[in-house]
Amino acid sequence: MSWLEKLLPPKIQHTDPSDRRSVPEGVWVKCPSCETVLYKSDLQANHNVCPTCSHHHRMSARDRLDMFLDAEGRYEIGQEVLPVDALKFKDSRKYPERLKEAMQNTGETDALVVMGGAVHNINVVVACFEFDFMGGSMGSVVGERFVRGVHAAIEQKVPFICFTATGGARMQEGLLSLMQMAKTNASLTR
């Protein structure tokens, strides 16, 4: 290293060609921890853990369910429950606009995916939050799907498992969102 390179800040010294933004989007992922550029399918094969530095990358709800549940006998619970804009809520943008964008970005209809299935042949019901859908916030759809999942677990006498990834209540649904706290707690008590 020359004396000039030593004087330059680390960012300027970094001249790795793999670092440039010219890589096709969706095929490569840059690890935010060690900055290694990873082939996306390699990362997925390693359960979204960086093979270089063991950083745990964010995982979508459906990817997590896919890794967690046995391939056979899966079924989704509550996917027919869809969000509505009961309050006609608007902050800097309208709630339906935010919903539409979240749906397009995630391919989900709300922030919780609930599935019945099995883990090594033991039947379970699993609820999994999708953080990329409005911060995994809980509105009336998340609450209702959660409760349907709990009820299915009670009926079948199987464990209920929840992978939580949420920023809290969905403010665009106001009180309807806060009511989900009581609703989900009541079903968990049962």
Q: What are phi and psi of 100, to 5 degrees?
A: -60, -45
Q: How far is the CB of 43 from Zn ion (least distance, A)?
A: 9
Site for Zn ion in 96-155 (CB under 5 A): none
- Which letter does DSSP use for residue 161 in this model? E
- Does 34 help bind Zn ion (rule: CB under 5 A)? yes
- Does 176 help bind Zn ion (rule: CB under 5 A)? no
- Which letter does DSSP use for residue 164 in this model? -
- Which letter does DSSP use for residue 73 in this model? S
Of the pair 50, 126, the CB lying nearest Zn ion is at 50
C-alpha pair distances (Å), 50 with each of 32, 38, 58: 10, 8, 11
Residues in contact with Zn ion, counted by CB under 5 A, come to a total of 7
- Does 33 help bind Zn ion (rule: CB under 5 A)? yes
Chain centroid offset of residue 8 CA: 39
Q: How far is the CB of 57 from Zn ion (least distance, A)?
A: 9
Of the pair 54, 156, the CB lying nearest Zn ion is at 54
H or E stretch including 149? Answer: helix 140-156
- Does 41 help bind Zn ion (rule: CB under 5 A)? no
Q: Pull the structure tokens for residue 112.
A: 């919780």
- Does 50 help bind Zn ion (rule: CB under 5 A)? yes
Interface residue list for Zn ion (CB under 5 A): 31, 33-34, 50, 52-53, 55
